[in-house]
Amino acid sequence: MQNYKMCIAYDGRKYKGFNTIKDDTEKSIQGKLEAILLKLYEKEVEVIGAVSTDAGVHATGQIVNFKAVDERLTEKELLDYFEKYLTDDIIVLSIEAVDERFHSRYLSKKVTYEYHLWKKDAPNRPLFERQYVNLMNQLLDVAKIQKAAKDFLGEHDFSAFTTNKKVKNPVKEVFALDVEDTEHEIIITLTASGFLLNMERLMVGTLVQVGLGQLPINAVEQALMAQDTKFVGHKAGADALTLMHVEY
């Protein structure tokens, strides 16, 4: 069997996440991809995603891999086959044959997300962007957000920043956390060795509440040191979050 690595992008608004949901494969990205492979090979083929994005979360560079039953199609023909049957909100960007040991999830080294906050004092309301931003109804103190964001950098136990309290390995390394202040938006970019369930959304939610003055500026430091969720903010909405790329 030939192992294939595929880069895909999708609009996550209509889906309950990347992973297949039992008895509801139409509502997952994985389910859509596996249905096309079943049609092609007449056998079930598992599609493994690098990141299990949440319901409503988008992607511009999700990486998946699958092991084809045979090599009846070339890489280009496989890409064309997917594109023929995929819905308009999922596209295949590239596909390549890789070593059988390649695993999109276990071999990933860095994962980058981007979160968009539309500023209350922006010159205008969002139009084309309105489905992909968190529209703020209060002013944010960007300087506070930038200062608090620095406390996330490095290797930490992120047990307080996940909704999965039974996680086996809560230690992750945050390589970069950039907060960009533009005319219309505040764009938060997070790069880490990996993310626990809802970790990126809780990180953003905490920074937003620091920027609103609802949490102290040292909330991140306190949450990481005490492993206490009382210092952790709300879970930021999914529709403004995008998986940008995965590095190996």
Residues 36, 92: one domain? yes
Range of the domain at 38: 2-98
pLDDT, position 238: 96
Active site residue 24: no
Instruction: Tell me: do 94 and 126 sit in the same domain.
Output: no
| Domain assignment present for 161 | yes
> Domain for residue 105, yes or no?
no
**Position 49 in a domain:** yes
Q: Are residues 236 and 117 in the same domain?
A: yes
Assess whether 189 and 80 both reside in one domain.
no
Instruction: Write down the pLDDT at residue 23.
Output: 72
140 and 55 in a common domain: no
List the catalytic residue out of 54, 121, 178, 239. Answer: 54
What are the average pLDDT values for consecutive 10-residue runs of the chain, which has 248 residues? 97 95 84 96 97 96 96 95 97 97 98 98 96 96 98 97 90 98 98 96 98 97 93 96 98
- 183 in any annotated domain: yes
Q: Residue 21 falls within a domain, yes or no?
A: yes
Residues 94 and 120 in one domain: no
Q: Are residues 149 and 191 in the same domain?
A: yes
| CATH code for the domain of 161 | 3.30.70.660
Residue by residue, DSSP assigns the chain as: -EEEEEEEEE-GGG-S-SSPPTT-GGGSHHHHHHHHHHHHHSS----EESS-PPTT-EEEEEEEEEEES---S-HHHHHHHHHHHS-TTEEEEEEEEE-TT--TTTT--EEEEEEEEE-TTSSS--STTTTSSEE-SS---HHHHHHHHGGG-EEEE-GGG-S-TT-S--EEEEEEEEEEE-SSEEEEEEEES---TTHHHHHHHHHHHHHTTSS-TTHHHHHHHHT-GGG------GGGEEEEEEE-
Encoding tokens for residue 233? Answer: 């903010």
Q: Among 68, 98, 128, which residue terminates a domain?
A: 98
- Select from 70, 98, 126 the last residue of a domain: 98
Q: Are residues 161 and 225 in the same domain?
A: yes
Task: Return the CATH number at 88.
Answer: 3.30.70.580
pTM of the full predicted structure?
A: 0.94
Residue 176: predicted pLDDT:
98
Whether 175 is in a domain gets the answer yes
**242 & 138 share domain:** yes
Q: From CA 248, how far away is CA 246, in angstroms rounded? A: 7
Per the structure, the count of domains in the chain is 2
What per-residue confidence (pLDDT) applies to 235?
Answer: 96
- Residue 104 domain flag: no
pLDDT score, position 214? 97
Q: For position 25, what pLDDT does the model report?
A: 75
Among the candidates 98, 123, 158, a domain finishes at: 98
Q: What is the pLDDT of residue 133?
A: 97
